[in-house]
Every structure is written in structure tokens, then in C-alpha cells.
Structure 1
Amino acid sequence: MNNNALDHYYNMADILTVSQVLDIVIRLSGEGTTRSELARLTGFSKSTISNHVETLLAENLVLEGSGFSRGRKNSHCIYFNADCGCVISVDVGVTSLNVAVCNLVGKPLAASFQEDVDVNLGPHIILNQAITTAQNLLNHNHIPMTKVFGIGVGIPAPIEFATGRPSQPPLMHGGWGNYPIKETFEEAFGKPAFVDNDVNIMAMAEYEAENTHNDGNFLFVKLGTGIGCGIFCGGKIYRGASGCAGDIGHISIEGNDDLCACGNRGCLENLAGGAAIQKRIQWMAQNGKSDFLASCLAKNEPITCRTLGAGILAQDVACKEFVYQTGLYIGEVMAKLVNFYNPSMVVFGGGLINLGDLLFTGIREKIYRCSTALATRNLQIKCSSLGEQAGIKGAAIMVRDRIFMPSQFSKNYLLFREEARPNTLV
């Protein structure tokens, strides 16, 4: 690290201006920006911008090179240096555990994707497994801890964001409620950790991928074992007063009175969540409601959501009707959200999107039938292209945004100032 640059940096009268410049560079990192544009966007003088950019260049937080800014060729574009550090990303699912070391835009440098993991083994076993996996990834890829800026964790449960603790998680048993996840990772690695609901971090990854193509007001819906919604408002994730905004899986469906794991009745998740679907198609197989599912059961094959997808490919009428109806259930809730929030885009992710077009036919039909014409006039409804990497990408982006947010920049940067930081990752 350049000591002269550090001296200049810490003698600045207004450190906040440096962080504001860096924040804008990060937001525009996909296409780059120029010193003139930074002056226009911040209101600072060109000389002030020049001084701050030189400091950020010396500290290896930004890069300068030829490129296109706002669609115009420019030989002196400023970019965020995504490889100035890295993040340990952990995406805990009900039946999976994904761990990666990512750069600061969420690109995996090393990753481990594990299926058939039972989250109900409890936090001690699952989190220790995640910690061991992360340590192995760092060691095997020769990435030093001095490069790690923090740990980002996604959990399929309501999270009190300030403390990083789950609150009465309906899908996670075995002692997860109020467990100190944040402290567990901070003690293991000696770095700041941030914990959020898994759908929120997936929404962050989607925004990073789409931020030049939308207005920052969109919904990301995860269709998996559970159903949740990440809410982006004005380019920022909205968590609500207590951190549980977007728990749409427990909005009631008209005419449904089934008891949900949360204790209420009629919840969407109890009809259209992955676990509920599996129970329902098992019943269909056992009671002869689907020739395809019954034949699978007769051959002692497991009846899963993948089996349902195979039934659709086999043109089984009952499977096709089941998936279409499931889409209508989801669309009923989404129509209410579209009317209320008026998003520019709704993006669907999670394993159930693999059920394909029939599911989305039902979703779209219900949204357009039950939402107002104005709310749907320019509405985009699409599937995420990020796949299983959405969670780990979003976890890395969450850490980056928390570390470098203007109100925290000076405190967090001090945390790393004495650590040797080479120019590029190994």
C-alpha cells in the first residue's frame, strides 16, 4: 500500500467526499464514468474530484483506463476495482449449502455447491460446515485472509438485520431461532459479517446484473421450498421496520384453509412452496390422480418436483393442470403486490422456475387479469438468469455495499489500512 497516499487520505478534512465519489463509481462500474461526470453528479469542483480520484487510484480502489462512458468512447474512464479484495459468501438453503469466495462484484473465484443438505441439523453443524468449506476454498486457492473484506450470509428466514439473527424461522428447526449467526462468522474469521434473508441478497445480485436496464423499483420473487420477495425501492433493498418485509409466502389465498407451518391458515407457501408441492403430488400419485405420477410410484421412484417436471414433458394432463393452477395461486398474490407497489419489473428465481412455461402462464394470466391496466402497462415479468449463483453473488455485493457505504467508509477502511493488499487477487 502506498504510504504517501495513506497520509494524504487521512489528512483530508472531509473524508465523506471521498466515499461519495467511490459510491458513485461503484454504482456505475458496469459502464465506467469520467472525472467530469463525477463532478457533475456530486456537485464537487473538478479539482476536488481529481484529488479524490488520485487518492482512490493510489489506494487501488479504482482503476482508470480507456472505455465507454454513457455510450461515448472516452480514453479516461474510472472503474471500481472489483479485485481489490474479496468476500466469503454463504448461501444457506433448506436443502442446500453454497459457499464461495467472490470478488467485490460477486464473481466467484472459488465455489462449493452442495445439495441434499438438511438445514434442520441445526446451526452449529451447518455453520461449522460452511466455515470449514470457506477455509478450504481460501487455502486451496492460495487466497490470503488479508484479502478478505468480510462475510455475507443469506438465510431462508426472517432476519433482524441489525443483529443478524433469525426470528422464528418457519422452515428452519433445530435451534435456528435467535441464533448468533453474525457473531459465529466474525469469531471464525475476524472480519465483519452481514446476514440477511436469502431472497434479499438474490435481489441484490439481480439489481447488480440489471442496474442499467431498470429504474430500481422492482420485485424479486424466490420460488423454492419457501416463497419470499426481495423489494427494491429507488435502487435500494427495502427491509421494513423490523427486517421482515417481503415475506409473501404467508399471504393468504382465497378459498384455502390449510394449516401452515407458521401457525396461520391459507398461506401461499402452503400451496405453492416446494415442500407443499411435493406433499400434494405424493398424494396425487398415491390416489391415482395422475397416471404418470402413479406409474413412478409403482416403480418405487421418488416423487419430487423434478418428477412433476418430467410429467409435464410426458404430457401428463394432471401434472400440467397442477402446475398451471400453482401459477394461478402465485399470480393471485403477485397481482396484489403489483397493484400496491407498481414495480417496473418482477423477476422470478429459485428452483421452481424450472417447472417452466405452464407455471408462468398461470402467473401472468392472474397478474394481468387482477391488476389495474396502469400498473401493468409497462410491467416486465421475467425469470432470473443467475441460477444457483444468485445467492452467493448477492452476499458478496451486500458486504461490498456495507463496507463502502459513505456513512461507514472511514471506519471500515481503517479496519483494512494496515493489512497488505496486493494489486490483484491470486
Structure 2
Amino acid sequence: MSQTFFEELNNETLGGVAYKNLSLKKKMIAYFANINNATIADLAKELNASTPKVTTLLNELLQEGLVHDYGKVDSTGGRRPNLYGMAPDAGFFIGVEVKRYHINLGLLDFKKNLVKFVEKIPYDLQNTAASLDDLCKIVVKFIDELPVGREKILGAGVNLSGRINYATGYSYSFFHFDEEPLSRVIEARIGIRTFLENDSRAMAYGEFSSGTVNNEKNVLFVNLDHGIGLGILINGQLYYGKSGFAGEFGHIPFFNNELICHCGKKGCLETEASGAALVRKFQEKLKEGFSTVVMRKHKQPEQITLTDIIHAANNDDMLAIELVAEIGEKLGKGIAMLINLFNPELVILGGSISTTGDYIRLPIKSAINKFSLSLVNNDTQLILSRLGEKAGIIGACLLVRNKLLSLA
């Protein structure tokens, strides 16, 4: 019995004609997934293959239900050709976005439709075996409740903050107490092929593929959350660096202070301009006697969270607005440095703090104008994320799709 396309993908012994046919099928799917639907003539030209060969391979994909016949296309004359494209339900991908205090999960089909999205499941991210167990249990529960069978789920992408080696699957910031790569540890527990990615890079790719990016190819995505992350796209490709650690923007030694960052060093940008810094500054102000609507919910300043402060700012609380603006100015100075270095077309502000809108964007924009070279920043747009909490999920799923099918 002949193997299916996905069985062939995992068969490392393929050679000769079978390997060449698999390569052509992958190129067909790449075209359908990343570009558009096409006729047989279009595919033959794109793949530089004969029409009979393309027809044969296309029929095999049709029989497996991976490709769909979308009917006749308009023609200026002669026989109208059929238009083919990916079947949305040919396969699905799971995205898992691990935040400091919650988890987002999503299911994406081949046509980039978000079939299911569950956000803000309570979770406490700690570098412990118990925290990893909780993560895996949440993912397994999500899979068990999906409207599609496990056999249709081709892979899962897990986004974590910190230093991730996407190529090896190792995490060096969380859950690094096992000799095996974290991707394999999670894969064994959830029963689905798993890939690991840095959260800011996945969010950047999500926005690039399905969000605010139009024709721009050189894009910076600044993830403003409890920490500060950076996703870099150069000429439309994610930039990883030598070991996959590129983008540690939050750990630039920006300040001459004695504040110890969670990375162990002093003076990092995160110590003065991150969500964690915002919470610390807010609590200090309360102890000094400043008033805020947030205290209607809490008895002690220590109980206040970043979510509380963001909600307060969006409801016109002056203390929250002033402190968001304060960290925005410091962030803007850091982003000005990035603009001078990369000269990007677009800088996207994402993450939880970006949901304060102009309260964070305007002080950042003002600092960029003040500290970056005007000739450089004139060509750079500063915008807010359009996908919000969905950016990392969509990015994770699409990166898994690319890795599994070699579409990148």
C-alpha cells in the first residue's frame, strides 16, 4: 500500500523518483499555502515540471483530501481550466502561547483560519517541574476538547520567553532541567510533534503573515509585557542569530542603576521600562501616598498586577497613565537606538502594555523623534499590533507549518 503524503514526509529512507515526487508535492503545497490557488498550467510553470507529472501528483493530493478542486476559472477563450488549492481541513496546527500568568491556545487550519482560540487560561510560569506539568495538562485538555481528531493535527508550536534555540528545541530560560530538548519532553507528554519558539519572534511572524504588515519586509516587533522582547524580520525572514538568541533587547545595559534584572545583571532596559518595572513603580507610588482607582479592588499594594494597571490606564486613572508614559519615554529611547541600527520600514508595538494604545505609543513616538536620526526615522512607521493576543498563536502555527513541510 502506498504511503500518504504525511507518511512520506517522515520517511527518511525515500530516494530516487519517490523523493523527487515528494519534493514536487511539497513545492505545490508551498505555492498553495503561501501564494494562492493555481491551475495545472500555473503549477507546471512554477515548478518547472511537465503537465502530465503535475497532473499525476495533483491527483494524488486530491485523493488524499489535501488539495481541493475549486472549479472552473474565467478564460478569454477555449476550454476553461480548473483552479486548485489547499483544502482548509487537510491538516491543523496548534499554537501555545505561554505568558507569565496565563496561557493562550489556538488551532489553525491550512488556510490560516483560526478555528479555535482560547485565551488567558490562568497559569503561573515558574522554572519548576510542577509548572511544566501544569502546562502539559492544559495543552492536553485543549487537544482533547478540539472539534478535530488527533490524526489531523500535524504539529504544535510552543512559545516561551527568554533564550530559545529553535533548531535544537532547547530552552535556556525555563524548564531547562532535563537532558533532552524541551520540545521533545513536551512532545512525549502531549503526543503531538512539537516545536519550540521564542514568544516575541512568533508574535512578529504572526503580525508579518496575518496582521498589520502589508508589503514591508524589514520589520521590528517589540513585545511589551512583563519583560521586553524583540522579533526581527529582515527582508521578510525572521532573524535568529548564530544560536537563535537574537532579539534580547530588554537586556541591553541601558541604565546606570543598582537594580538587578532577572537575568542577573544590573541596569538592563527591563529594570526601568518593562511591565515588571511598571508594577514596581506603581507600588512604590502607592506607598508614598498617591491615590488610584486600583486600590478599590486591593487592600495591599503588593497585590496589584500589571493587568490591574493596564485596566486602570484604559479607564483614565491618572497615576497609571503617568507611569505608562514614563516607561514609554524610556522604551522610546531604546527603540530609537534600534531604528538607528536597523532602519526598519515598520516598528510594531505588541504585548499586554500595547493595549493601552496612545498612552504608550505617543511617549514612545516622542522619544523616537528626540533620540533617533531624523533622516532614518522618517522612513519608519510606528504602529500597534492588530492581532493582539492572537499574534503569537498564529505565528507559532505558521512556523510549525513551515518547519514540518519545509515551506520556509
The 2-side partners of 1:86 and 1:5 are apart by 15
Look up the match of 2:27.
20
TM-superposed CA distance for 1:323, in Å, is 1.7
Look up the match of 1:120.
126
Equivalent positions of 1:52-131 (< 5 A) are 52-65=57-70, 76-105=82-111, 107-120=113-126, 122=128, 124-131=129-136
**Sequence identity (%):** 26
Q: 1:397 to 1:8 in 2, by over 3 A?
A: closer
Look up the match of 2:383.
382
The 2-side partners of 1:349 and 1:68 are apart by 40
Q: 1:404 to 1:111 in 2, by over 3 A?
A: same
The 1-side partners of 2:145 and 2:161 are apart by 29
The 2-side partners of 1:406 and 1:88 are apart by 17
Look up the match of 1:246.
247
Are the equivalent residues in 1 in contact too, given 2:163–2:198 (CA < 8 A)? yes
Count the aligned residue pairs. 395
Are the equivalent residues in 1 in contact too, given 2:39–2:81 (CA < 8 A)? no
TM-superposed CA distance for 1:218, in Å, is 0.9
Q: 1:252 to 1:46 in 2, by over 3 A?
A: farther
The 1-side partners of 2:131 and 2:328 are apart by 32
TM-superposed CA distance for 1:313, in Å, is 5.4
Q: 1:35 to 1:126 in 2, by over 3 A?
A: farther
SS at match of 1:90: strand
TM-superposed CA distance for 1:44, in Å, is 4.6
Are the equivalent residues in 2 in contact too, given 1:151–1:185 (CA < 8 A)? no
* AA of the residue aligned to 1:291: S
TM-superposed CA distance for 1:283, in Å, is 0.2
Look up the match of 1:414.
none
Q: Give runs of ≥4 in structure 1 deviating > 6 Å.
A: 1-10
The 2-side partners of 1:372 and 1:244 are apart by 27
Look up the match of 1:154.
159
SS at match of 1:83: helix
Look up the match of 2:150.
145
SS at match of 2:292: helix
Are the equivalent residues in 1 in contact too, given 2:211–2:385 (CA < 8 A)? no
Look up the match of 1:352.
353
Instruction: State which drifts further: 101-110 or 332-341.
Output: 101-110
| RMSD value, Cα | 3.5
TM-superposed CA distance for 1:282, in Å, is 0.1
Are the equivalent residues in 1 in contact too, given 2:165–2:243 (CA < 8 A)? yes
Look up the match of 1:421.
none
TM-superposed CA distance for 1:231, in Å, is 1.1
Look up the match of 1:291.
291
Q: 1:137 to 1:382 in 2, by over 3 A?
A: same
* AA of the residue aligned to 1:96: H
SS at match of 2:398: helix
Instruction: State which drifts further: 191-200 or 181-190.
Output: 181-190
TM-superposed CA distance for 1:36, in Å, is 4.7
TM-superposed CA distance for 1:351, in Å, is 0.8
The 1-side partners of 2:191 and 2:213 are apart by 35
Q: 1:135 aligns with which of 140, 145, 148?
A: 140
TM-superposed CA distance for 1:396, in Å, is 1.3
In structure 2, stretches of 5+ residues that fail to align are: 75-79
Instruction: State which drifts further: 367-376 or 45-54.
Output: 45-54
* AA of the residue aligned to 1:258: L
Are the equivalent residues in 2 in contact too, given 1:219–1:347 (CA < 8 A)? yes
TM-superposed CA distance for 1:104, in Å, is 3.4
Q: 1:27 to 1:295 in 2, by over 3 A?
A: closer
* AA of the residue aligned to 1:159: I
Are the equivalent residues in 2 in contact too, given 1:166–1:178 (CA < 8 A)? no
Q: 1:24 to 1:338 in 2, by over 3 A?
A: farther
Equivalent positions of 1:205-354 (< 5 A) are 205-210=206-211, 213-254=214-255, 256=257, 258-288=259-289, 290-292=290-292, 296=296, 300=300, 302-309=303-310, 311-312=312-313, 315=316, 317-354=318-355
Are the equivalent residues in 2 in contact too, given 1:101–1:137 (CA < 8 A)? no
Q: 1:35 to 1:251 in 2, by over 3 A?
A: farther
TM-superposed CA distance for 1:251, in Å, is 1.6
In structure 1, stretches of 5+ residues that fail to align are: 408-426
TM-score (ref. length: structure 1): 0.80
The 1-side partners of 2:127 and 2:203 are apart by 24
The 2-side partners of 1:136 and 1:282 are apart by 36
TM-superposed CA distance for 1:312, in Å, is 3.9
Are the equivalent residues in 1 in contact too, given 2:281–2:323 (CA < 8 A)? no
Are the equivalent residues in 2 in contact too, given 1:344–1:378 (CA < 8 A)? yes
TM-superposed CA distance for 1:82, in Å, is 3.3
TM-superposed CA distance for 1:243, in Å, is 0.6
* Superposed CA offset, 1:296-343 (max 9, x none): 598557433344345545655544332222111111111111222122
* Superposed CA offset, 1:10-57 (max 9, x none): 84562323322322221114xx44445445545555555545444433
Q: 1:279 to 1:52 in 2, by over 3 A?
A: same
The 1-side partners of 2:64 and 2:5 are apart by 7
SS at match of 1:14: helix
Are the equivalent residues in 2 in contact too, given 1:286–1:294 (CA < 8 A)? no
SS at match of 2:126: helix
SS at match of 2:157: strand
The 2-side partners of 1:92 and 1:68 are apart by 44
Instruction: State which drifts further: 269-278 or 204-213.
Output: 204-213
TM-superposed CA distance for 1:402, in Å, is 0.5
TM-superposed CA distance for 1:199, in Å, is 1.1
TM-superposed CA distance for 1:294, in Å, is 8.9
Q: 1:26 to 1:340 in 2, by over 3 A?
A: same
* Superposed CA offset, 1:38-82 (max 9, x none): 45545555555545444433343333326999xxxx974443333
Look up the match of 2:404.
403
Aligned: 1:186 with 2:187: yes
* AA of the residue aligned to 1:340: L
The 2-side partners of 1:402 and 1:53 are apart by 22
